Structure 1
Amino acid sequence: MGKQSYAVTIAGGGSTYTPGVVLMLLHDMQKFPVRHITLYDNDAERQETIAKACAIYIQENAPEVKFSYTTDPAEAFTGIDFVLAQIRVGKYEMRDKDEKIPLRHGVVGQETCGPGGIAYGLRSIVGVIEILDYMEKYSPDAWMLNYSNPAAIVAEATRRLRPDSRIINICDMPIALMDIMAALCGLRDYRDLVYGYYGLNHFGWWWKIQDKSGRDLMPTIKEHMARNGYADAVAGLQFVDESWLHTFQKAKDVYALDPNTIPNTYLKYYLYPDYVVANSDPNHTRTDEVREGREKSVFGMAHKIIQQGTARGFELKADEHSEYIVDLACALAENTRERFMLIVPNHGAIENFDPTAAVEVPCIVGSDGYQKICQGSIPQFQKGLMEQQVSVEKLVVSAWVEHSYQKLWQALSLSKTVPSASVAKDLLDELYEANRNFWPELR
């Protein structure tokens, strides 16, 4: 873009992650100078609390940066360079149903995987497409960096419905896991790693991990994975809830299925769904943990900052995923040609896989967008799992486009997390009733 400074809109301004994104934007002003930050949300009350606290912090720490917040799309998306999208359609009320309805049927209840992820995905499509259209109407040269979940379904929907749009779909989970790997090897963070990776979002494997000198780190990481999954190096990370500790430990059993690769943690939901259900409390799920933890903490701090009229004395810090997003925006703006993990149309990045699939692979990013790094052919085990899961995602998007009850039933029946078509139908009927205000009318 060649500009000296950039205007950024954060879509989902009322998110608990917004303060961390704002702090990271301010922290990285030398490499990515920002002149204007705008928050946008359709929930004015929720956004106002976060926005007022951010305004105080910015005034005290970077008064030269213009700051605003709005519910008006024209105001939010006019004259901007980047949209950072982190929306949650239905908020925690619907996430609660995504997790607890499946558990009532003895099925994995998780916000991005299985029936909960499908329900959430059908809600997210409209919201992400709407924001993308606002951006292209008011600032057609801008980039949208989307990390709204479930990223796999959203990426498939934008690929089909807005194929020429300037949107890049991303997820921070592989970065968090590579930070753990780097720590296991005595390195600083994921930037010190050179890696090969293939998969779908929340459904992938590392097949190569080296340091920048070319030293093979896979033996060291495999040794830790075989002993305790990722749990040996999670101290100090932001995922500190008990449920995340179990997830990091369970990666040991996921790894055992293919000791030639290092797995993404989310694979436990597909490969060990019986374990997940047996160790879930149907009355107290991850949603409750977030409400009691992050939600309470962030909004509590925001209210105190507003009440006291200052952010001084509060321990504010940027989130890990925020740094990745800012680095990606910087790569697009300043042509840094850095390596990022992105969710992109395959078209040969994985040679023996559906060319139209939205795959997660390393890419080189510069001012002209991204170039995929070819990962070659993948093993039969991973290929079979991915073909099944990408079919689920494609059927979900087809069901949304065609208002098809049949295809949504097929999608749920095909998911490895659902034991039978009869259970899938019962789940579909209950989820449909719960989501009538968000899903298209099915026929």
Structure 2
Amino acid sequence: MKKGLKIATIGGGSSYTPELIEGFIKRYNELPVSEIWLVDIEAGKEKLEIVGNLAKRMIAKAGLPIDVHLTLDRRAALTDADFVTTQFRVGLLEARAKDERIPLKYGVLGQETNGPGGLFKGLRTIPVVLDICREMEELCPEAWLINFTNPAGMITEAVLRYSNIQKVVGLCNVPIGMEMGIAKLLNVDSSRVRIHFAGLNHMVFGLDVYLDGISVKDQVIQKLTDLENSSFVKNIDGFGWEPEFLKALQAIPCSYHNYYYKAKEMFEKTKAEAEEEGTRAEVVKKLEKELFELYKDPNLDIKPPQLEKRGGAYYSEAAVRLISSIYNDKRDIQPVNTKNNGAIASIPNESAVEISCVITKDGPKPIAIGDLPVPVRGLVQQIKSFERVASEAAVTGDRNLAILALTINPLVASDKTAKEIVDEMLEAHKPYLPQFFHH
């Protein structure tokens, strides 16, 4: 009799954890999880206790024989794990607030995963993820690493290039959100809709849309040109695409494309919001406070509906569906971040891409598309260059490479601005960037 599965969740004190627990409860009949280890750091201890106790109540309510362990000992959590999921934020929301606020002074968008904010989140996070990879090699060499920590594409790139862990899949809720959104647009059940995705994390395009296996892309593009329908993700309000642009593009952009194709409007909107109600990190901080107050209630034994506002909708659906498909060799199609292996012709084989894959027990097998359409190819390649140089900067602690990465990024218009932003942000995040200060 095979023992049940051990799941280790790093960043277990996250407000998203109830989502994940709900996913494991829902799929228990196909995924025999026996232990869930929620691990966090000292600074996250109180949150870990609160969210861990809610997790225990949810599992008790479901009547399932799953043991939940709460720990600050990452090695104990990793030992003999079957799947390791990561959902942490180095420097917590204070660091995110700096990522969002500092660039605004320079007339550059401040955002969690794009531009300077995405660069610095990567610089802080990649060394920690690579440490986890080294511990996995030692303590659970057969485990799959399912990374939800942003910037997911850059992190997957770094793991593929700079660690021996090749069983890594990066995951994001944007594609699944797009599928759900388009199903709503077409007024059909989401199980009937499949989008063929290709590109990078937060830079992914729907190259085709199928309803019951028949392409409905033109119909969907037509509906999206109706301004009411254009944004799928809770925490990014789109302005609606210009119909002429969308019809000529012949692909479905994701909500993060607003930052590139509507850079001016998004900068102005982000700046105005930061001045009026605070940066997104500050708004999220308030939301999290309310969520954790709810989570404390000893009578609460379900995932509260308020969690949707946090922007992580379908997170558990995406994560647990993926884990189940790997474990059960389901061979269904899901969009994930994985090694390109020739699936997109103009991206290096060994790089990470976000693409529709057949999910097998050997991991994701990307569905080859040949090349990206000309209108989207250049931007995807530019962001891939940015991610690669940024990953190298994170590993080496080379300030010059950090400046180069930011200058390559389309959201920064000058090398001088890039240098000024990098220097101010290096200083602001100094405690979390030891690699840049050892030289």
TM over 0.5: yes
Q: How does 1:16-165 map to 2 (within 5 A)?
A: 16-42=15-41, 43-165=44-166
What stretches of structure 2 of length at least 5 have no aligned partner? none
Bigger shift: residues 58-67 or 155-164: 58-67
Instruction: Find the aligned partners of 1:276 and 1:167 in 2 and give their Cα distance.
Output: 33
User: RMSD of the TM alignment (CA)?
Assistant: 2.3
**Structure 1 counterpart of 2:284, from 290, 299, 302:** 290
CA contact (8 A) 1:348 1:374 kept: yes
In 2 relative to 1, CA 257–266 (structure 1 residues): closer, same or farther, beyond 3 Å?
A: farther
Q: How does 1:36-435 map to 2 (within 5 A)?
A: 36-42=35-41, 43-189=44-190, 191-212=191-212, 214-228=213-227, 230-231=229-230, 240=234, 244=236, 246-247=237-238, 249-252=239-242, 256=246, 258-280=248-270, 281=272, 282-283=274-275, 284-293=278-287, 295-305=288-298, 311=301, 319-435=313-429
CA contact (8 A) 1:254 1:268 kept: no
Instruction: Find the aligned partners of 2:109 and 2:381 in 1 and give their Cα distance.
Output: 20
Report the secondary structure of 1:383's partner residue: helix
Shift of 1:127: 2.0
Q: Letter of the aligned partner of 1:265 in structure 2?
A: S
In 2 relative to 1, CA 406–86 (structure 1 residues): closer, same or farther, beyond 3 Å?
A: same
% identity of equivalent residues: 28
CA contact (8 A) 2:193 2:209 kept: yes
Shift of 1:296: 2.5
What stretches of structure 1 of length at least 5 have no aligned partner? none
Report the secondary structure of 1:374's partner residue: coil
Q: Letter of the aligned partner of 1:441 in structure 2?
A: F
Q: Letter of the aligned partner of 1:321 in structure 2?
A: Y
CA contact (8 A) 1:388 1:414 kept: yes
In 2 relative to 1, CA 162–221 (structure 1 residues): closer, same or farther, beyond 3 Å?
A: same
Report the secondary structure of 1:148's partner residue: coil
Instruction: Find the aligned partners of 2:78 and 2:403 in 1 and give their Cα distance.
Output: 37
Instruction: Find the aligned partners of 2:269 and 2:369 in 1 and give their Cα distance.
Output: 35
**Could you list the per-position Cα deviations for residues 157-209 of structure 1 after superposition, in whole angstroms to 9, with x for gaps in the alignment?**
111111543211111111101110112122212x4223322211111211111
Shift of 1:300: 1.2
Q: Letter of the aligned partner of 2:378 in structure 1?
A: G
In 2 relative to 1, CA 99–250 (structure 1 residues): closer, same or farther, beyond 3 Å?
A: farther
In 2 relative to 1, CA 255–134 (structure 1 residues): closer, same or farther, beyond 3 Å?
A: farther
Shift of 1:136: 2.8
Shift of 1:124: 1.0
Instruction: Find the aligned partners of 2:63 and 2:136 in 1 and give their Cα distance.
Output: 26
Instruction: Find the aligned partners of 2:330 and 2:431 in 1 and give their Cα distance.
Output: 43
Shift of 1:312: 7.4
Shift of 1:255: 5.2
Shift of 1:316: 8.5
Shift of 1:146: 0.7
Instruction: Find the aligned partners of 1:381 and 1:314 in 2 and give their Cα distance.
Output: 42
CA contact (8 A) 2:198 2:206 kept: yes
CA contact (8 A) 2:344 2:368 kept: yes
Bigger shift: residues 272-281 or 327-336: 272-281
Number of aligned pairs? 427
Shift of 1:303: 1.6
Instruction: Find the aligned partners of 2:147 and 2:168 in 1 and give their Cα distance.
Output: 7
Instruction: Find the aligned partners of 1:384 and 1:354 in 2 and give their Cα distance.
Output: 14
Shift of 1:229: 6.2
CA contact (8 A) 2:331 2:360 kept: yes
CA contact (8 A) 2:80 2:140 kept: yes
Instruction: Find the aligned partners of 2:122 and 2:333 in 1 and give their Cα distance.
Output: 27
CA contact (8 A) 2:35 2:67 kept: yes
Q: Letter of the aligned partner of 1:359 in structure 2?
A: V
Bigger shift: residues 283-292 or 430-439: 283-292
Q: Is 1:15 equivalent to 2:14 in the alignment?
A: yes
Instruction: Return the TM-score normalized by structure 2.
Output: 0.91
CA contact (8 A) 1:225 1:252 kept: no
